[in-house]
């Protein structure tokens, strides 16, 4: 191990490095959360245009849009975000949450996502130490943050994140990073099948769709990371979290506080998955000892 790597691996240094890296990743996650739904919507429209025999919109001179182009800018005035205005958390605080050019308000979601990504990486470093498990845990947390915010905004959990996360879990567990590979494979299959079954049972009883296929895939990714033994705990925790938010929304409505949006299942799965990532074995022994 080189001197630099040995210094980074020091228990007092590694969490700090992970926190800083997490803040920077959080800045990129904001781009993903904002652009990925628009990129996929544009791709859908292009496919529909091709099926109708029309020219796709991108071929008609529409601006290129991906995770790197165009440069980040203010949606109100088009001001290009400079490097100094793009420092995670700090820039938002210095600018007091407003564009430096037109003074339009910048959503508090941006520093929130950055802080969550940084704290998630920090917690991974403390919990798992200097290891592949810490890196994998940070990737899991970053992915679920993006999924939760996208789902809350659009109601969709895109394959572009859920499927790579599922494969990452399986690949990490080739070396038993979290669980034996067999448990991870069964967890991926069971995670999908359980929510798929609940979906169809709910639809047969009520005639309504209680969740989407993206929820099945996200739960499969959780199973691939943590193994089938964690799935009862994850489903229980996500239900509890959903109930808490639902009750809070009903209380707010009775008091005349309109939240202006409805909660989706993705954020509940994200919270439950992160709890299970850090404390799953202890909680499962407490509530589901038959699975340990």
* pLDDT for position 61: 61
Q: How far apart are CA 85 and CA 254, in angstroms?
A: 41
Q: With a cut of 80, say whether residue 263 has pLDDT above it.
A: no
With 90 as the cut, is the pLDDT of residue 147 above it?
A: yes
Mean pLDDT of 63-90: 87
Contact 164, 171 (CB under 8 A): no
Two tokens, residue 112: 């929130």
CA dist., res. 118 & res. 1, Å (int): 26
- Over 60: is that where the pLDDT of 267 sits? yes
pLDDT at 55 over 70: no
Half-sphere exposure of residue 77: CA atoms within 13 angstroms, side-chain side: 12
Residue 62: per-residue pLDDT: 73
pLDDT score of 154? 92
State pLDDT tens for residues 3-29.
788 888 888 899 999 999 999 999 999
Residue-wise pLDDT for 22-54, tens only, equals: 999 999 999 999 999 999 998 888 888 777 776
Q: List pLDDT tens digits, range 160-199.
A: 999 999 999 999 999 999 999 999 999 999 999 999 998 8
Q: Is the pLDDT of residue 59 over 60?
A: no
CA 102 – CA 98 distance, rounded (Å): 8
Q: What is the pLDDT of residue 65?
A: 85
Whole-angstrom distance, CA of residue 60 vs CA of residue 242: 44
108 touches 101 (CB < 8 A)? no
Q: Which two tokens stand for residue 1?
A: 């191990």
Out of 64-73, 240-249, 267-276, the most confident range is 267-276
Residue 258 is predicted with a pLDDT of 62
Query: How much is the mean pLDDT over the chain?
Result: 89
Per-residue pLDDT of 201-236, as tens digits, reads 988 988 888 788 999 999 999 999 999 999 999 999
Q: Do residues 74 and 85 touch, judged by C-beta distance below 8 A?
A: no
DSSP states of 60-88 as a string?
A: GTPPP-SSSSS--B-TTT-PBPPSGGGST
């Amino acid at each position: 191990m080189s001197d630099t790597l040995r210094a980074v691996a020091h228990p007092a240094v590694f969490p700090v490095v992970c926190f800083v890296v997490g803040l920077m990743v959080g800045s990129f996650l904001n781009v993903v959360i904002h652009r990925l739904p628009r990129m996929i919507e544009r791709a859908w429209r292009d496919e529909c245009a091709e099926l109708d025999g029309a020219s796709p919109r991108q071929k008609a001179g529409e601006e290129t849009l991906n995770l790197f182009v165009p440069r980040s800018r203010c949606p109100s005035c088009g001001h290009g975000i400079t490097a100094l205005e793009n420092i995670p958390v700090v820039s938002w605080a210095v600018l007091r949450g407003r564009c430096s050019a037109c003074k339009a308000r910048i959503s508090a979601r941006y520093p929130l996502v950055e802080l969550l990504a940084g704290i998630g990486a920090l917690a991974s470093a403390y919990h798992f130490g200097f290891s592949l498990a810490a890196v994998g845990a940070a990737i899991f947390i970053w992915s679920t943050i993006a999924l939760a915010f996208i789902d809350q905004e659009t109601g969709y959990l895109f394959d572009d994140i859920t499927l790579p996360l599922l494969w990452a879990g399986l690949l990490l567990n080739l070396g038993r990073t979290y669980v034996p590979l067999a448990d991870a494979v069964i967890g991926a299959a069971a995670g999908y099948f359980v929510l798929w079954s609940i979906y169809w049972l709910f639809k047969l009883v009520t005639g309504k769709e209680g969740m989407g296929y993206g929820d099945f895939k996200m739960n499969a990714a959780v199973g691939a990371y943590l193994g089938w033994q964690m799935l009862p705990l994850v489903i229980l925790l996500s239900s509890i979290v959903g109930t808490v938010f639902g009750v809070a929304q009903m209380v707010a409505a009775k008091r005349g506080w309109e939240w202006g949006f409805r909660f989706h299942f993705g954020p509940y799965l994200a919270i439950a998955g992160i709890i299970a990532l850090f404390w799953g074995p202890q909680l499962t022994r407490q509530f589901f000892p038959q699975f340990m």
